[in-house]
């Protein structure tokens, strides 16, 4: 709101810290006295200091790094893959489907996918659920 109203540097510098909590409350008073001469310097120091805390958002390219491990169950892989895809905004379903199919380790399930050619994530998940049930029965 202050930015929209074009407030002056002194007002911005004095009001910005009122929104701090946690680690920022510890950081701010420890700045060297007279080390900040304008609001841009304050925001630059703030961003530089807390850059490591930034939440990084993955994009669809990251999915190519998610592979099913040689000894990983299909259920565990599907869970791990789903957790990753939940972090990717606006993920194209076709990219999602391609990535999950191309990262499979299980040869038998890969063969099933090649033969049935699921065209949607729902079709793929249905086949995966059947395969997971088979894996769980074999583990008994």
For 15-72, list the strands marked E by DSSP: none
Report, as ranges of residue numbers, the positions in the chain whose pLDDT lies below 50: 1-2, 4
Measured CA to CA in angstroms, residue 107 lies from 32, 46, 63, 95, 138 at distances of: 62, 51, 20, 21, 16
Contact of 75 with 135, CB cutoff 8 Å: yes
Tokens of 121: 């994530």
What CA–CA distance (Å, rounded) separates 66 from 4? 43
pLDDT at site 54: 62
How far apart are alpha carbons 136 and 42 in whole angstroms? 57
Q: How confident is the model at residue 38, as a pLDDT? A: 83
For domain 60-139, the question of CATH label 1.10.1200 is answered with: yes
Q: What is the mean pLDDT of the chain?
A: 84
Answer whether 65's CB lies under 8 Å from 74's CB. no
Q: What is the pTM of this model?
A: 0.59
CATH 1.10.1200 domain locations along the chain: 60-139
* Alpha-carbon span 84 to 57, nearest angstrom: 10
């Amino acid at each position: 709101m202050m930015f929209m109203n074009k407030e002056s540097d002194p007002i911005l510098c004095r009001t910005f810290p009122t929104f701090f909590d946690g680690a920022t409350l510890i950081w701010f008073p420890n700045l060297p006295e007279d080390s900040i001469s304008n609001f841009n310097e304050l925001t630059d120091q703030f961003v530089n200091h807390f850059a490591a805390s930034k939440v990084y958002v993955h994009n669809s390219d990251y999915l190519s790094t998610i592979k099913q491990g040689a000894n990983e169950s299909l259920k565990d892989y599907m869970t791990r893959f789903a957790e990753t895809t939940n972090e990717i905004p606006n993920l194209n379903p076709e990219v999602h489907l391609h990535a999950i199919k191309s990262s499979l380790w299980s040869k038998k399930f890969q063969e099933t996918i090649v033969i049935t050619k699921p065209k949607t994530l729902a079709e793929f998940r249905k086949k995966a659920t059947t395969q997971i049930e088979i894996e769980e029965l074999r583990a008994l």
